Amino acid sequence: MAEKLLAVKGMNDILPPESARWEWLEDKVRALMARYAYRNIRTPILEYTQLFVRGIGEVTDIVEKEMYSFEDRSDKNGDHAHLTMRPESTASVVRAVTEHNLLYEGGKRLYYMGPMFRRERPQRGRYRQFHQIGAEALGFAGPEVDAELILLAAALWKEIGITGWRLEINSLGQPDERALHRLQLIAHFEQHANELDEDARRRLHSNPLRILDTKNPAMKAVVDSAPRLIDFLGAKSLAHFDALKAILDANGVPWTLNHRLVRGLDYYNLTVFEFITDQLGAQGTLCAGGRYDYLVEQIGGKPAPAVGWALGVERVLELLQESGQAVPPLAPDAYAVVPDAAALPLALRTLQTLRAAGVSVQMHASSGADGMGSMKSQFKKADASGARFALIFGETELASGCVAVKPLRAGKAEAASEQTLHPLADAAAWAPVLLA
């Protein structure tokens, strides 16, 4: 036998029945997004590397070490394109919105779902291909849209049955406010240089704000005593933050202020937030977002404010599984038992009619040219499929122009639930029997 080929490390197959949980979540998201008037956007997985280098910031973890980038083969002109598999979608959405001039007639509310790629150390809740669902509102400057997005996420948790989350918020102010804070932050960390780990020392002059985001418990003291960004915010930034908090309060969405919340990406300003759970160990951030009023301009668009979030699908589903939520059942309504292969053309025609009428039917499949297999083995398969009914295309039934419908899941009390005969010619008319 040939050598067994395996999936790439950190990239997962999503198999049935687990995939049913994914579809279930995606359906919930589509319905919810529609209720908030967010529209679906789909962008390519490959983008020019430059989009992410400029968009995400050159000194983020993602751009420094996590991107899957490669040089494409040269095209006719001999140019090599530097391409990257998207590590996130905000930059792509902004690129698409700018490229197609979507903001010229006002703001746009968009959402996406799909795979993202980051070369990280695979572990629970952290994969190299993972999936995000994201919502972005572009062209809106007011705090009510920040609030709307947070309310949308909270509504999603409620809709899918996630409880026990915590919402942390912070304000990063504006670049000029951050510049002042940055100087004092660097001074503080320089004073405590011996308490910094290697990562922090590397970031000290490139991105000191990110040091606040450290996951190293040994640095807790030096980070807790650092100057707080909120103390550097002017009246306008504070008013934006206060307006957001008032809307959250009025809607009963609990929040806590986390001065260390800065986000991994460089492009945020004003509002940042994370929904966190304690039930998933170290990878507890379910959803993260914030305002990024300068990104559109940075990617070459006409300046436009924007705000959004992205949630990690694997983490959300893991949490649902953890809390004992069952995978939605996958059983078909009916299983077609066909004793004689000669009946297949007629049987399949009937199944097509039933399916068109909304019935989910699994057909018995033979093991090849030597017949359909015994009735006993077909009924065993019918049982295992979880179907509620067997459709029996037997010789006697067919002779009378009928198919027999036999309940498979009837309890003992309903032993009388005998099989019934239904005309082949009129399958659409009795299809509801199988949906009952």
Selected range binding ligand ATP among 188-196, 296-304, 306-314, 376-384, rule: CB under 6 A: 306-314
Which DSSP letter does residue 63 get?
I
Selected range binding ligand ATP among 192-200, 222-230, 279-287, 348-356, rule: CB under 6 A: 279-287
Selected range binding ligand ATP among 118-126, 227-235, 333-341, 403-411, rule: CB under 6 A: 118-126
Token pair for residue 186? 């660097």
Q: Are the C-beta atoms of 311 and 198 separated by less than 8 Å?
A: no
| Residue (126 or 178) nearer to ligand ATP, CB | 126
Selected range binding ligand ATP among 124-132, 233-241, 337-345, 409-417, rule: CB under 6 A: 124-132
Give Cα 78 distance to the centre of its chain: 38
CB-count burial class (<10 Å; 0-12, 13-18, 19+) for 290? buried
Minimum CB separation of residue 285 from ligand ATP in Å reads: 4
Distance CA 259, CA 181 (A): 13
Q: Are the C-beta atoms of 207 and 59 separated by less than 8 Å?
A: yes
Question: What is residue 85's three-state secondary structure?
Answer: strand
Distance CA 185, CA 281 (A): 30
Q: Is residue 292 a contact point for ligand ATP (CB under 6 A)? A: no
Using CB under 6 A, which of 310, 372, 390, 434 touches ligand ATP? 310
Q: Are the C-beta atoms of 354 and 435 separated by less than 8 Å?
A: no
Using CB under 6 A, which of 86, 95, 118, 291 touches ligand ATP? 118
Helices 235-250 and 143-160, packing angle to 10 deg: 30
Using CB under 6 A, which of 28, 54, 119, 126 touches ligand ATP? 126
Q: Is residue 199 a contact point for ligand ATP (CB under 6 A)? A: no
Token pair for residue 385? 């499929």
Using CB under 6 A, which of 245, 315, 406, 422 touches ligand ATP? 315
- Residue written as tokens 């699908």? 313
Using CB under 6 A, which of 92, 132, 170, 277 touches ligand ATP? 132
Q: Is residue 120 a contact point for ligand ATP (CB under 6 A)? A: yes
Token pair for residue 426? 């009129």
Pairing verdict, β 165-171 and 402-407: unpaired
Give Cα 76 distance to the centre of its chain: 38
Query: Between 73 and 112, how does the x/- string for binding to ligand ATP read (CB under 6 A)?
Result: ---------------x------------------------
Token pair for residue 314? 């694997």
Minimum CB separation of residue 153 from ligand ATP in Å reads: 11
Minimum CB separation of residue 317 from ligand ATP in Å reads: 11
Q: Is residue 264 a contact point for ligand ATP (CB under 6 A)? A: yes
Minimum CB separation of residue 163 from ligand ATP in Å reads: 17
End-to-end, the C-alpha distance of the chain in Å comes to 48
Q: Is residue 261 a contact point for ligand ATP (CB under 6 A)? A: no
Selected range binding ligand ATP among 98-106, 202-210, 247-255, 310-318, rule: CB under 6 A: 310-318
Q: Are the C-beta atoms of 179 and 186 separated by less than 8 Å?
A: no
Minimum CB separation of residue 117 from ligand ATP in Å reads: 9
193 phi and psi angles, rounded to 5 deg: -55, -35
Minimum CB separation of residue 282 from ligand ATP in Å reads: 8
Residues that bind ligand ATP (CB under 6 A): 88, 118, 120, 125-127, 130, 132, 264, 283, 285-288, 310-312, 314-315
